[in-house]
Structure 1
Amino acid sequence: MNAPASFARSVPAPSQPAAGHAGATAVGAQPLLETRGLTIRFGGHVAVNAVSCAFRPGELTCIVGPNGAGKTTYFNLVSGQLPPTAGQILLDGEDVTRLPVSQKTRRGIGRAFQLTSLFPQLSVLENVRLAVQARRQRGLDLFSMWTSHRDVQAQAMAILERVALAGKRQLTVASLPHGDQRKLEVGILLALQPRVFMFDEPTAGMSVDEVPVILDLIREIRQDRSKTVLLVEHKMDVVRSLADRIIVLHNGILVADGDPAEVIASPVVQQAYLGMPEEEGSHG
């Protein structure tokens, strides 16, 4: 289903982030990540339909839309969990469309859930340590002496401190509550040091007290002007506080792309795509 005709009158054309925004990228910067006509079909259903979008260094883009809009499927295509039916994925101008997850990770596309589920019976510290080793290409020898990798262990501990899990370092991943598992996912992503950070609802399932830890880490990452951050998020307070740019998907189609305030203010976006009631006489 195509977007309503009134949508084109309500939503601005794609634009650069507003000048002066804390994470705004430089005008004219070359895209770090780009999708061109990215499409996937499951039988007769088109889950992502010809999505073309460029993401630049120093930019945090929030991807929003109702359930079933294609947001997570789009992430799965970019990160390599799903092969596209058509279209391209470019990283630094190089076609990486058909590369598997492991190759895309090595090239710098990082997604938060990629490694934690692989080692549920290992400790929290061992999971992060393995991610650090993978990035350094030291191999994944679990039985090597800890003393030969003191720097790796030290870095892993520093990451656990950042995600507030140092006190649970000896617990197995399987024993962690959901909120702590989400924090560990972010920790592993930090250990991999990607150029493109992909977060799919990173605060889902977390308590109110846990959420600031993750949001502060994402803010810290976006200060690095060489990194690109993509964030799927339903919580509009999180979107407003973090986004340099918002893109809206609906039925797998890219229907809006632009400055957060302008996109959020659109009555059509608020009512039809974000599930927010339209406020009479207000576009704020």
Structure 2
Amino acid sequence: MSRVILETHDLTVRFGGHVAVDAVSCAFRAGELTAIVGPNGAGKTTYFNLISGQIPASAGRVVLNGRDITRDSVAHRTRAGIGRAFQLTNLFPNLSVLENVRLVIQSKAGLGFRLLSMASGHSEITDKAVAILDRVRLYEKRAQLVSELSHGDQRKLEVALLIALDPAVYMFDEPTAGMSVDEAPVVLDLIADLKAQKDRTILLVEHKMDVIARLADRIIVLHNGALAADGDPAEVIASDVVQEAYMGKELTDV
């Protein structure tokens, strides 16, 4: 069994009298893609926000590679190896698609976000950025400003920036939301490629059960902020309690 990369221990957040995430404990392993599902308002995105640092926990812990990161900032968590797609969207909207990817690669290489350095060589960085854009089918739009991209292309750029960041943990929150039927498979194929590498931990919030059935090694179900189910996708999807109480008829369409 592969080693645990990310853990949450009794992770909890309260907003006034409302408990949005209620003592959720989970361990996520290298090479595993976990789908996080549940009805609207179940706490899925809030759980993501707690892991990536957008909101502080009221109680509990987040542990990455054995180190407690519960009080770390978003930037510290990103440097430590947690990558969440929307954190990087429109990093520099008035720069080109290629320049955005180059900047992330530069930063990852320890060169910082220095625009001047982009103009002076670093051909290997450019080559890597071009290769990533080719993977996400944005090569033809490499010179286009990010602010001018369609919604679907911006979602593809999110994945490109995450690939450039090369985190230990990839976090995708409904990555195909708002994408056309033609665009969505590109992103899903990229996620499948990342999973096939067997050395990254992937967390996926998704409502489309066909996507989950195709990609997930494991499903966890949140309901009213609490962990309601955790296990093999087929077993969780077939569970009466999940179908009837949490997911409704959509699961029967898989």
Coarse TM-score class (shorter-chain normalised): over 0.9
CA contact (8 A) 1:116 1:127 kept: no
Which deviations, in whole Å up to 9, do the C-alpha atoms of 1:209-230 show, x marking residues without a partner? Answer: 1111111111111112221110
Aligned counterparts of 2:218 and 2:201: Cα–Cα separation in 1: 12
TM-aligned CA deviation for residue 69 of structure 1: 0.6
CA contact (8 A) 1:267 1:278 kept: no
* Identical columns (%): 64
TM-score by length of 2: 0.96
Counterpart pick for 1:221 among 191, 194, 217: 194
Aligned counterparts of 1:45 and 1:186: Cα–Cα separation in 2: 33
Q: Which protein shows a greater Rg?
A: 1
2:124 is equivalent to residue 151 of structure 1: yes
Distance 1:170 1:252, change over 3 A: same
Which residue identity does 1:45 align to in structure 2? H
Aligned counterparts of 1:60 and 1:277: Cα–Cα separation in 2: 21
Q: Secondary structure at the match of 2:70?
A: coil
Distance 1:62 1:278, change over 3 A: closer
Distance 1:145 1:68, change over 3 A: closer
* Mean CA deviation greater in 114-123 or 34-43: 114-123
Distance 1:99 1:175, change over 3 A: same
Distance 1:89 1:170, change over 3 A: same
- Structure 2's unaligned 5+ residue stretches are none
2:25 is equivalent to residue 52 of structure 1: yes
Match of 1:244 in 2: 217
Aligned counterparts of 1:178 and 1:274: Cα–Cα separation in 2: 28
CA contact (8 A) 2:209 2:251 kept: no
CA contact (8 A) 1:35 1:87 kept: yes
**1:252-267 map, 5 Å:** 252-267=225-240
Aligned counterparts of 1:189 and 1:220: Cα–Cα separation in 2: 13
Match of 1:191 in 2: 164
Which residue identity does 1:112 align to in structure 2? A
Aligned counterparts of 1:226 and 1:144: Cα–Cα separation in 2: 31
Which residue identity does 1:203 align to in structure 2? T
Which deviations, in whole Å up to 9, do the C-alpha atoms of 1:69-124 show, x marking residues without a partner? Answer: 11011001101111101100011111011111111111111111112233222211
C-alpha RMSD of matched pairs (Å): 1.6
TM-score by length of 1: 0.86
**1:85-96 map, 5 Å:** 85-96=58-69
